[in-house]
Structure 1
Amino acid sequence: MRLVVMAAVLVLAGAWPGPGAWPGPVCDFGCRPENVSLTVESCGRAEQVLTTVCEGRCYQEDPVYIGPDYWPRQTICSGDWYYEVKHIKGCPVAVSYPVARSCMCAPCETTNTYCGRFPGDLPS
């Protein structure tokens, strides 16, 4: 009975994905652009710039059993990036910094990201 009540509460709260949507996020944490302040430096001078980075959580599957023939594909919050140029007053050398155009949950790329399981313990 408690399970039925909890499922009804999750459906009413919008945290249950609904029929036909499984597997999927139980709670939509989202992967979204976020404005951050970044320090750039050139010619020994530093300035703050406002840029956009990708931030958020993506659905992760952590099954009870992981065999040699089954390893769930993990996703990370990633984005489409471009670089802007900043000229610091009194310095002839420009500085470039990354800006996220858009963000999405994408498959983890082992070429530039650690895609393995977290080696430590997480508090419950």
Structure 2
Amino acid sequence: MKSNTQNAKIEAITEKTLVLGIDVGSETHYARAFDYRGVEYSKKPFKFSNTEAGFVTFKAWVLDIKEKHGKDKVIPGMEPTGHYWFNLGKFLQDNEMKPVLVNPHHVKKSKELDDNHPT
């Protein structure tokens, strides 16, 4: 049932959820943080390298925003760009943040409807 799947996705995001949008690159990633209504918490995209050290700084940034805004759950969303997302995806899973992979076509259409910002 498609509607049950859709409802489960909607119900997964609550007032206590921190939603992350991650733009994946070969060497550098960019992340932005939002609440469940789409209000942005990050003043500008957070830039981090596609390395373990970069992932650690990203995690510290996420935990800081999570604590500051009283969130208890994190949902990171990213477009699976080639193989560049593999290491980040594993890091997220290993750190109790289940990544959501977003269809590239949906990302493109969403950008067209919004402001065409990179992340």
TM-score between the two structures when normalised by the length of structure 2: 0.26
- Higher helix fraction: Structure 1 or Structure 2? 2
- Higher strand fraction: Structure 1 or Structure 2? 1
Give 1 or 2 for the bigger CA radius of gyration: 1
TM-score between the two structures when normalised by the length of structure 1: 0.25
If asked which structure has higher relative contact order (CA below 8 Å, sep 6+), I would say: 2
